[in-house]
Amino acid sequence: MFSPRFRFSEWSSNQVPSVAAGVYLIWKGEELIYCGMSGREIEKNTHKRKFGLITRLNSHASGRLSGDQFCVYVANRLVIPTLQQDDLQSFASGELTLDRLTKQFIHHHLEYQYTVVDSSSEAYALEVLARSGELVNQKPLLNPR
């Protein structure tokens, strides 16, 4: 049902359809970290050049916290707890940013896989199953249902 896993460090939109609704799983090794869906109202947006899975996964790969709940979860739960006292000075000087650390974490540790569906309602229903642990026998760490 799902694609093979792809490392965020090798992010390339080439393997993801340009316009598609679907569900994706994000892994850290064998631990399910996050489940999401993309392509709400895909039926009204098939004319766009890029829409749905590709734009959502690209946003996650960027590591930018602004407007991306997944990146916020990664920063808060997985990156910030690893910070050292010395890192604070680098933040104060602007040498280090949470966006950059979040992107580094995503690219060094996480993989994603996805499946394409025909409608936004199908994507939503499948995401509910994924977040409740019914698809891969575990609930995601960051957004369980």
pLDDT digits (tens, 9 = 90+) for 80-131: 999 998 899 999 999 999 999 999 999 999 999 999 999 999 999 999 999 9
What's the pLDDT tens digit per position in 27-60? 999 999 999 999 887 767 677 788 889 999 999 9
Residue type, 31: E
Q: How far apart are CA 103 and CA 120, in angstroms?
A: 28
Nearest to 10 by CA among 99, 107, 104: 107
**Where in the chain are the domains?**
19-50+62-131
CATH 3.40.1440 fits 19-50+62-131, yes or no: yes
Q: What is the pTM of this model?
A: 0.93
* Cβ within 8 Å of residue 97, ≥6 positions away: 91
Query: Which secondary structure element, helix H or strand E, spans residue 62, and what is its range?
Result: helix 53-62
